[in-house]
Amino acid sequence: MPQTPADQPHHRLVPAPAGRIHLVEQGSGPLVLLVLHQLQALAAAGYRAVALDVRGYGRSSKPGDVAAYRMLDLVADNVAVVDALGEPSAVIVGHDWGATIAATSTLLRPDVFRAVGLLSVPYTPPGGPRPSEVFAGMGGEEEFYVSYFQSPGRAEAEVEPDVRGWLAGFYAALSADTMPAPGAPDPHFVGRGGTLRDRFPADRLPHWLGETELDVFAGEFERTGLTGALNRYRNMDRDWEDLAAHHGAPVAQPSLFVGGALDASTIWLADAIKAYPTTLPGLTSSHVLDGCGHWIQQERPEEVNRLLIDWLGSLDSPDSPGV
């Protein structure tokens, strides 16, 4: 059946605390807010799928203050998007930092976000030791990438002279078919006096990433720069302080988790996954995909789409725990 204009993705800019948030929406039905791109499959399944550029990315506003990228502000942006779309509530789904943003949005605004899908990064409740101290203690003489990202301008100086080449290596380093072999130097750490790129695979792309698609990703980051994205890492201690009243708090709404068995996030946070009966009491679907790395929605798109759609369909079934 040929597509009508209503079936096509539609770009919009909506007002938000960031200034403006750029989003793409497709389809009609219950609202699913995505901090990732799975539009076509969800729209075809009967959902109003909306993918947004988080502040600092793409065509959304890019505040200059590092503190403007704290979690409370990102949650406020998500709430503003739902309001601008004229909906009372939404299901929210995110990958990597998007998963943490989605989980925190659901924790802080259960009146707006009725369910949450987490891809690749497990939920860990706010609290525990101060994040900067935890990450500074990782790696021994090597420096963990999160600590490496803390000083404004430092990581930018590595990435921005060759955004396309850096992104290619970064995507390859965390994809199952191109990641370094077991026992090779870990690309999540920086050797003394080195850079992250030193440990990225060279001259090979993962199976899911073509040259044209890489050009699009690189073009966006060349236009915007990396500072907005990196400022998210530079707010973890602020988030820890801002969310002090929620330390240890579970997310009670219905939830989904999908991770890759070869992803460092799944491996390092295995205890967080084991704690889901306490931290995600509304968990209705949890999956770890064998032989899959970090970029699960690109590495295994059909499987991830099926899991998302099945889970979304279960939310309104008679056996659902309720929203």
d(CA 37, CA 52): 8
Residue 155 φ/ψ, nearest 5 degrees: -70, -35
Q: Looking at this protein, which amino acid is placed at residue 175?
A: S
Helix 71-84 vs helix 97-108: crossing angle, to nearest 10: 70
Token readout for 290 is: 């064998």
In order of 34, 36, 152, 229, 266, the CA distances from 58 in angstroms are: 15, 12, 20, 10, 27
Catalytic residue among 96, 239, 242, 263: 96
Q: Is 246 a catalytic residue?
A: no
Residues near 241 by beta carbon (within 8 Å), at least 6 away in sequence: none
Q: Is 110 helix (H, G, I), strand (E, B) or coil?
A: coil
Q: Is 294 a catalytic residue?
A: yes
Long-range contacts of 147-151 (CB under 8 A, 24+ apart): 148/190, 148/196, 149/230, 149/233, 149/234, 150/233, 150/234
d(CA 42, CA 50): 9
Ranges of H-type helices in 200-300: 211-224, 227-231, 236-242, 264-268, 270-274, 276-279, 296-299
Catalytic residues: 96, 294
